[in-house]
Amino acid sequence: QVQLVESGGGSVQAGGSLRLSCAASGYTYKNYYMGWFRQTPGKGREGVAAVDRTGFTSYANSVKGRFTISKDNAKNTLYLQMNSLKPEDTAMYYCAANLFGSVVPGRPLWPADFGYWGQGTQVTVSS
């Protein structure tokens, strides 16, 4: 059974940094398509970043140059390094995984592309 557990969220002032982690278990981690999404109350989940089995990455325009997605296959862990945080980055952040899928340049990240989800970790950025 695939399990994803996020950690690393918290409260930070604008301009600060946080690193989110997603510990994965129950599957061959390195073969999976992995992503980060975020959601605020009353809105749908927004794709933030993704990395596929070949290491190609994709980012939402709103986070390009500030966020970095990476994975450590030896630790079965996905990361999201978030720098220069803004109040509009405040959201619940979710880790997602799927056996199939790959990064397609220019294609937005869709929640429907992922079959497994973590419970989320809250990120709050104050001005």
Task: Judge whether residue 104 has pLDDT over 70.
Answer: yes
**Averaged pLDDT of the chain:** 94
Backbone angles phi, psi at 90, to 5 degrees: -60, 125
pLDDT in tens, 47-71: 999 999 999 999 999 999 999 999 9
Taking residues 2-18, what's their average pLDDT?
Answer: 97
As a whole number, mean pLDDT of residues 22-29 equals 83
pLDDT value at residue 1: 82
Average pLDDT over residues 73-101: 95
CA pair distance 39, 9, nearest whole angstrom:
14
Contact (Cβ atoms closer than 8 angstroms) between residue 12 and residue 121: no
